[in-house]
Each structure stands twice: as C-alpha cells, then as structure tokens.
Amino acid sequence: MRFSKKHSLIHFLMILGLVAPMLLGAEIYRSVDDRGRVTYSDKATPGAQQVEIISRPSRQLHLVSRVYDGDTVILEGGKHVRLLGINTPEIEGRQRTEEPGGVAAKKWLQAQLQGNKVYLEFDQVKQDKYKRLLAHVFLPDGKHLNLALLENGLATISIIPPNGRYAEELTQAQQRAEKLKLGIWSMPEYQPRPISQISNHHKGWQRFTGTPISIKKSRKYTRLVFSDKIDIRIANTNLHAFPALTTYLGKPLEIRGWVARNRDYYTMLIQHPSALIIR
C-alpha cells in the first residue's frame, strides 16, 4: 500500500482518516526523495520515518437528568458522572459545607445543559470507588465542559493518574483564567497562604507557598519536607510524571490541593505536576 502526497501533510491525514479502518495495526512510514517529493507507505525503506497515528477516542451519547453540582451530573437512569480532570467548590449538602464558588459553578453547568444531550469520553479508569462514571463531557456542538469550567474560573485542575487525557489543554485553560483573575482566582478564600500557617481549619482545596528543605523516601511515597510537621507526598508510582524532585529543593513553591492531618502533622497528597508550581 502506498500513498502519494504532492502538497502537504494535511492532505495525507485527510486520506488517512478515510482509510484508517484498513490500517489498524499497520505502521506507516514517511519518506522524501531527492526531488523533495513526499510519499507514505506501510513498508519501511532506508531513511523513512515512522508516522504516529493517533485514533480519536470514542464518545457516547447520553441524556442528562439533572446537575448534581459543578462537577457532577446525573444521567437518565440515575448514573452519576464525575467530570474528569477538574474540581469545583462544594455546594451545601448532607455532611458538606458550602464553599465559595460552588453555587456559581453548578448554575453555570445547569445553563449549559438545558438541551440535556451530552457525549461522554472516558479515559483509562472509567469508574471511581463511589461507582460514578469518570468522563470528559462534551456538548453536541463539541464544547468541552470540563475545559470550559476551568477557563471561566469555576473549577481547578485535578489530574489523578492514570487518567491524564487532555492534561495539557486543561492546564492551559486554568492558566488563562488565573491570569485574568476569573472566578475563584479573585476570591480571598483561595489566595495562597504560607505553608507554615497550615492548620486543621483549612478545609477543601487550598493554595500554600513554601520552600522544601529536604526529601524523604518510604516504600509508598516520596516526600518534600517543609518542616518537622509539614510535608507534601507523591506516590512513588506517579514519580515518572514529575521532574526529579531535587528540582524543587530550596525553591519557592506554590502547592495546590487538600490538607490531611495526623495528630499534629500535616501533609498534602500531590498527584500531578500541575499542583506543584515553582514561583
């Protein structure tokens, strides 16, 4: 099988989209002859470069019954869907205290879903321990609601491996909202605090600043230590996603996430580099 291309790679990709079903499992190679002509083939020739073929993830159409909160919807039939890669502030409920910005996020999502049709796109892990579906949610016009919540300052990024699809796009959307001080980025409750002031009074998603002084390793976690009573921990299984942790030592950091307390010791679980920023 051989493909000729006279103008641009775009032409090839358009053709490839039509014949992709025939190419499943095949490797495609790009080569350029002495006259600069480009050809594509499923046969490797001297000097040819392999072309990476990325298939578009499948999406499933569903009907939304109602919006539970800013990052969770309920489908017809009662199944809950948790929007992947983001977190919105809590709304008031049973055993939950309302957090600033939670109602605004829910109202925004309700306005978007008046047509009630959505497409769900799943990642590596499809369901969480609460039996909720984990998905990227798209409107019929292609609007990515997870990303739009971030871009409007209504949510914060929350990547939990191995589900990392759209991590770069989500991070960039949050950065745009933060730069413009939209939504939660303008609220005093979410401004950075020195990590030395961490306490049990800090509930929900928070931002702290501090400089790590050492690294401590254990069987399950590697920790950046800020004092004898404060650290952040990264699961050793997730270290591959981070730069060498020595990169962070002695540098001012902003840490984003949730505080856990064990007696008089405080720690934060960091699952993705987007929650650990060198300032």
Q: For residues 38 and 30, is the Cβ–Cβ distance under 8 A?
A: yes
At residue 95, the pLDDT reads 76
All structural domains of the chain with their residue ranges: 2-51, 60-185, 192-278
**pLDDT tens-digit readout, 187-196:** 999 999 999 9
Average pLDDT in the 238-251 region? 97
Residue 39 — pLDDT band, cuts 50, 70, 90?
low
Closest CA to 65 of 103, 138, 114, 121: 114
Compute the Cα dihedral for 209, 239, 86, 175 and give only its sign: positive
Residue 18 — pLDDT band, cuts 50, 70, 90?
very low
All residues at 6 or more sequence positions from 243 whose CB lies less than 8 Å from its CB, including other chains: 273
The alpha carbon of residue 84 and the mean position of all alpha carbons in its chain are separated, in whole angstroms, by 7
**Does the pLDDT value for residue 116 go beyond 70?**
yes
Q: Report the alpha-carbon angle 261-83-117, nearest 5.
A: 155
**pLDDT tens-digit readout, 44-56:** 778 877 765 545 6
SS3 content of the chain, % helix, strand, coil (to 5): 25, 35, 40
Average pLDDT in the 130-138 region? 97
Residue 231 — pLDDT band, cuts 50, 70, 90?
very high
CB neighbours of residue 3 within 10 Å = 16
What's the CATH code, domain 192-278?
2.40.50.140
CATH architecture of 60-185: Beta Barrel (2.40)
CA dist., res. 169 & res. 98, Å (int): 29
Both structure tokens of 38: 């480009």
CA dist., res. 125 & res. 190, Å (int): 30
Record the pTM.
0.79
**Does the pLDDT value for residue 220 go beyond 90?**
yes
**Does the pLDDT value for residue 10 go beyond 70?**
no
DSSP string, 40-63: EESS--TT-EEEP--PPPP-EEEE
Q: For residues 152 and 68, is the Cβ–Cβ distance under 8 A?
A: no
The domains spanning 60-185 and 192-278 adopt the same CATH topology: yes
